[in-house]
Amino acid sequence: MKKFVWVILVSLFTIATSVLVVVQYVQMRRTVTVSDNLFNISVNNAMDDVIEQLNRLKVEDYIGQNDRYKLLKFKRIEELNSRMQDVVKENYALFYDTNIVQLSVTMIDSILLLPGVHVSATDSSAIARYNTLLATRDRLASAPDFYDQFVNDISEYVVDNIITSSSFNYHMLDSLITEKLVINGVDIAPHIGIYDYTRDQFIYCNADNQKQKLRETPYKYRFHPDGMMSPNEYFIMLHFPLSSLLLKENSALYFIFSFLLIGLIIILFLLSVRTILKQDKLDVMKNDFISNMTHEIKTPIATIGLACEMLSDPTIYADPANNTTYIRIISDENKRMRNLVETILQSSKMSSDNYTLERKEIDVNNIIQSVVNSFHLQVQRRGGTIQCSLQASPSTIIANELHITNLVYNLIDNAIKYSPDVPEVTIATKRANDMLELTVADKGKGIDKEAQKHIFEKFYRVSTGDVHNVKGFGIGLSYVQQVVRLHGGTIKVDSTPGKGSTFTVCLPC
């Protein structure tokens, strides 16, 4: 896929994802705001019902049993006084004629006929009715001073004295508020307080440590007990300790899930991009591998074909020296092709998870010496050298002979191939604790840091530009690493461009 297409695709996805995140965030804020408004409306509706119900209640419903008895008793006395006043109003001429009746101290105390005065039956009945009401009132009062003690405070009592910790039924208020809130869909238990604005004090609070929060709450509702006006202003105040948090949590659950899905989409997109890029890279490497492998195989095939043609020429066939030369060329090229095919097959087999090695005791120094001998003529023709410092003693390990031989062969072959002028290769072995350490060093062109990260990847080859002057198809070092891994060892490379490379293999003894 072209780079331009990738840039457009990634840009469009980034813009779409950013817009989606912004839209989700704005929607979340809007939902929280709407939820908060709905919560406020529900609370206000509930409290409207509470205030309406409180205003419908009589004073008797607010106060305790003792105070309720006294208040009802006082109201009965007030009723009798009112009826007595009605009797006086109906018989105004009689009750205000000092020649007929005698008042005690005030009209509400007693009315008596003067001695020797005779009145009509209607007037006598009115006086009797009045005195009966008076006697009933005095009997209710129980004491001569009941009226004086109670009447002076009754107006304040009706409105203010019932709002006290000793007389107001706060349990009823809490239950009523909670019930109305639940009916309106609010299941958060609030802190409740009754605040006397005139005196600037709380006369009730079901959570003493929340008074400051109640002062700052927006949920304030004025009410008047018994529907009566009072010189003091009373407010019912509510504070919901978790309302904002719960609203945001409830609203945010959906959006958290949405953002997780967006994150999952982003991850899947990145993984898809990574997979496609990796696939493109593998496709390029595959093409390079096929091209390199074809080039590598064509060379020995052409050489073998040429040698066969020369051997079929009777003039050349008659010379035994020429026969020997061409037969050796055919043998070398055949061996080279066999090694290429064997390396590919073994690398493919070792990629399987079920692959197992057949191990036996082998001498690494002997294998190295044998492989070095096979490269002797090749290095000698280029004027180079291979120096061996095989100090490992003993040099035997339990391993697979074929794979260890191929490992050594590939390392030496790479050292020679990537030495552009005269190859100078040094091979060393030594024992380090329970490990045998094999080092193959050259003074070739080296490998840069970026290429060192990929040299053990299958089909990867260090770039040599447009010049195909280094044979191979990028599978040798990958094969070497697989061999080392299957034997439980390690391999590392130390290389400086222009100064050469050193490969170090450690294998358990």
Which CATH number characterizes residue 447's domain? 3.30.565.10
Residue 292 lies in a domain: no
Same domain membership, residue 85 and residue 55: no
Same domain membership, residue 186 and residue 77: no
Choose the final residue of a domain: 127, 157, 187: 157
Residue 343 lies in a domain: no
Same domain membership, residue 504 and residue 400: yes
Residue 326 lies in a domain: no
Residue 11 lies in a domain: yes
- Average pLDDT for 458-465: 63
Same domain membership, residue 188 and residue 125: no
Residue 265 lies in a domain: no
Residue 392 lies in a domain: yes
Place 449 in a pLDDT band, splitting at 50, 70 and 90.
Answer: confident
Select the more confidently predicted residue: 118 or 394. 394
Q: What is the dihedral of CA 75, 77, 83, 84, to 10 degrees?
A: -150
Select the more confidently predicted residue: 386 or 154. 386
Domain total of the chain? 3
pLDDT of residue 53: 77
Same domain membership, residue 460 and residue 437: yes
Give the least confident one: 42-46, 267-271, 313-317, 329-333: 313-317
Query: What DSSP string describes 417-443?
Result: HT-SSS-EEEEEEEEETTEEEEEEEE-
Give the least confident one: 333-342, 405-414, 420-429: 333-342
Domain that holds residue 149: 65-157
pLDDT of residue 87: 86
pLDDT of residue 428: 92
- Average pLDDT for 140-145: 62
Residue 501 lies in a domain: yes
Choose the final residue of a domain: 183, 212, 241: 241
- Average pLDDT for 395-417: 87
Select the more confidently predicted residue: 314 or 499. 499
pLDDT of residue 227: 47
pLDDT of residue 203: 80
Place 466 in a pLDDT band, splitting at 50, 70 and 90.
Answer: very low
What's the pTM value of the predicted model, to 2 decimals?
A: 0.44
Same domain membership, residue 452 and residue 373: yes
Same domain membership, residue 72 and residue 197: no
Residue 433 lies in a domain: yes
Same domain membership, residue 487 and residue 371: yes
Give the least confident one: 60-64, 399-403, 405-409: 60-64
Residue 496: both structure tokens together: 């400086």
CB 427 within 8 A of CB 410: no
- Average pLDDT for 128-156: 66
Same domain membership, residue 54 and residue 184: yes
CB 407 within 8 A of CB 382: no
* Percent of the chain surpassing pLDDT 90: 4
- List strands edge to edge, sheet with 201-205: 201-205, 191-196, 234-239, 219-222
Same domain membership, residue 166 and residue 139: no
* Percent of the chain surpassing pLDDT 70: 76
For residue 413, what are the contacts with CB-CB under 8 A and spacing of at least 6?
375, 476
Give the pLDDT confidence of 307-354 residue by residue, as tens digits: 787 777 777 666 777 777 778 778 777 777 777 777 677 666 666 666
Choose the final residue of a domain: 220, 241, 262: 241
pLDDT of residue 143: 57
Residue 393: both structure tokens together: 């003693």
Most confident range, picked from 65-69, 178-182, 264-268: 178-182
CA distance readout (Å), 206 to 166, 173, 212, 462, 501: 15, 11, 13, 80, 82
CB 263 within 8 A of CB 237: no
Same domain membership, residue 387 and residue 489: yes
Same domain membership, residue 175 and residue 57: yes
Q: Is the pLDDT of residue 484 over 70?
A: yes
CB 478 within 8 A of CB 460: yes
